[in-house]
Structure 1
């Protein structure tokens, strides 16, 4: 019946059984094919319809039974008299992996689905008031565990409410007398019909968590919109009582029915909205494009002051929100002015980079600054995050700024913008890792000894990830190209930091840059001698 989408007939079978005696459902053997029928692959395909019906098969009371070769995606029909396969078929590994993700975990919860004492079949009420027979919705419970399964077995869309169960029979006194009764969804899931309670649950199919008012679930039910052959298995139900700050009410209003990887994390997202809003005013595709267009190609020309003033004001706003969120006390205007000074140096890099001691990296520098947009997106992102910690502490701010990239989800925002700009996921993630480590080591140029510079950065997990450090045959190895890239970035960092310091005389800045270049060169020479081994790299600098 499910193959031919005779859904009302199948629902009638279940409803009639429930009205007669729900215990009969435990005797059902649920299967999608048997040796006398065509294979499950032939009947249901390999898409959502197959997995929707398969989900029903393993979550209904009774005994689920898979056909021979069903999980592997075999198409040959096997009769009882077959002694061996006649077709040369190979397992469909993608099909099998989807079983592993979506079906097998449910089979491990058969204790939740096998019994009928708390099983309820629900009617799915469309907004127009009729019952949509193409949607199967049912719940079950055991102990503190609860589950709600919803499947739409039709090539169409559906929307409506899961609110009231179909009638089922219960014992009425002594003997065999039985009476019909119904329950609401709230009763079926054991929810508290009070406004202070909220229900959090997870969709096994997508992994997303949802939150709903328990009172609404009890009175109105659960509103669901379904596409063709869509299905949900809602599990891990738990109720929470709201606190005096109405934390869960805020989360529910903010999500407005949407799912989230973690409901609890959403509250932090709500609190971070002011910071995120001001950060996105700086980190967005439009600003990046405008700043790249504002690059200066001639040494005696200054960047466009209009955009410089705009960025400075946006940085004032960002520092102000960072102060509010962190309880900092430093003056945001002065901090924004420092960022503006560094931005001016950054935008002039194409024109003034020839003055810096790049050595054999001169051609690489020119190429990166003129032909690689991701270089600019990386350095601009770093520029806007590297000094955030100064609102709290002017001395130890690099580590604080680095931690806020994760805690305030600034890294995710940068990833999203790079995705909008067409950067693939792996280079974008590598860029964010680079931004984090450059934030921590933004003052590396103050350390003159190469061995100390290397010892310091190699202890950092972000650096280890960036350098692709790995152990093979009990030896730690690093990627030479990654180290060259990191050293180039450290030199860029030194150039920006030193050149933007208004208190540093020009001749002193030139000497400091030469010292930094000398440190980088000694690190490169040590890398050549090391054979890409971490221990030998460290030994070469001792």
Structure 2
């Protein structure tokens, strides 16, 4: 310390170290110095092994190379190998003894689908209008591809613990294990347009994780769109994202954010159909694209009023 300088230590507390000696590691790391947030630093130490394996998969080079048709296949193979140690860490931190073979299989199947999404367009026997709609829901920038790929490696993690309500568990770990911190860094680097805001990207990833199975084959039909969107509008996180607000005793939602939300929801539904490789996949995707177009039109006709929009959907049932 120089003249007239001093250290001020506040909020003293005595802690008992755990079996992993995390506080000893924190002590050695700090070396007598301070940090902006000691709890955040301790959290990084605790989850460092998990984060290291996560960053080996979720990083800029991998994402960019996956968009290169000449490199995609090789990157998929490399990621497949790195998924094993990552999922092993997830098992360790969740105290799970469950076999994760199925989790890895689904992630890789969807990764292969995502790496050739644009080529899949050529194989769909759709009419020109549906082909155009398919093109509209695809990511149109590296930033959006970053959102999709980040979602991919997060959305199935809950199944490491249990297949039941795994969507909510995946969403919970997304926050608890601070994966968003590393995804934010990637999205910031991939963002080149003014409207590509990192926090918006994180928000939609969270919704995509929570609602990943919204259009599973056994419950999705045009007639069910009313109940599906009624459920969406009852979710506080969806309400917040869509900026649902009351004005003159009417509930309204954001036109722009609704378009974005619906687009991502239908994209992950299409990816799910393509990954299943069923004979009915093409017909199911065409039905999804037709419904996507209807929803955009109905929202516009309803002037983005929640009740009018839901009433219009109810008339389809």
Superposition TM-score, scaled by structure 2 size: 0.85
Counterpart-to-counterpart distance in 2, 1:463 and 1:284: 28
Q: Which residue of 1 aligns with 2:12?
A: 239
2:195 paired with 1:403: no
Deviation at 1:438, TM superposition (A): 0.9
Deviation at 1:371, TM superposition (A): 4.5
Q: Which residue of 1 aligns with 2:301?
A: 529
2:119 paired with 1:344: no
Q: 1:425 to 1:322 in 2, by over 3 A?
A: farther
2:174 paired with 1:429: no
2:149 is paired with a residue whose SS is helix
- For these two proteins, the number of residue pairs brought into alignment is 304
2:190 paired with 1:417: no
Write out per-residue CA displacement over residues 461-484 of structure 1, whole angstroms, 9 at most, x where no aligned residue: 332233222233333211112212
**In 2, are the aligned partners of 1:313 and 1:336 still within 8 Å (CA)?**
no
Write out per-residue CA displacement over residues 309-358 of structure 1, whole angstroms, 9 at most, x where no aligned residue: 11111222221111110012332333222211111111111111252769
Q: Which residue of 1 aligns with 2:282?
A: 510
Counterpart-to-counterpart distance in 2, 1:279 and 1:332: 16
1:239 is paired with a residue whose SS is coil
Larger helix share, 1 or 2: 2
1:240 is paired with a residue whose SS is coil
Instruction: Show the 5 A alignment for 1:22-421.
Output: 124=1, 132=2, 135-137=3-5, 162=6, 222=7, 234=8, 237-245=10-18, 247-256=22-31, 257-261=33-37, 263-294=38-69, 304-354=72-122, 355=124, 362-363=131-132, 365-366=134-135, 369=138, 371-421=140-190
RMSD of equivalent CA atoms:
2.7
> Which structure's relative contact order is higher, taking Cα pairs within 8 Å and 6+ residues apart?
2
Counterpart-to-counterpart distance in 2, 1:455 and 1:407: 29
**In 2, are the aligned partners of 1:357 and 1:513 still within 8 Å (CA)?**
no
Deviation at 1:412, TM superposition (A): 1.5
Counterpart-to-counterpart distance in 2, 1:260 and 1:485: 36
Counterpart-to-counterpart distance in 2, 1:276 and 1:332: 18
Decide which of 468, 475, 478 is 2:253's aligned counterpart: 478
**In 1, are the aligned partners of 2:245 and 2:253 still within 8 Å (CA)?**
yes
Q: 1:513 to 1:337 in 2, by over 3 A?
A: same
**In 1, are the aligned partners of 2:58 and 2:150 still within 8 Å (CA)?**
yes
Counterpart-to-counterpart distance in 1, 2:305 and 2:106: 39
Shift >6 Å, 4+ stretches: none
Between Structure 1 and Structure 2, whose CA radius of gyration is higher? Answer: 1
Q: 1:267 to 1:434 in 2, by over 3 A?
A: same
Q: 1:384 to 1:359 in 2, by over 3 A?
A: farther
Q: 1:361 to 1:432 in 2, by over 3 A?
A: farther
Gaps of 5+ in 1: 1-123, 125-131, 138-161, 163-221, 223-233, 296-302
Write out per-residue CA displacement over residues 461-508 of structure 1, whole angstroms, 9 at most, x where no aligned residue: 332233222233333211112212222222211111011115xx32x2
Q: Which residue of 1 aligns with 2:262?
A: 487
Counterpart-to-counterpart distance in 1, 2:40 and 2:131: 46
Write out per-residue CA displacement over residues 380-435 of structure 1, whole angstroms, 9 at most, x where no aligned residue: 11111110111011232111111111111111210011223345696111111111
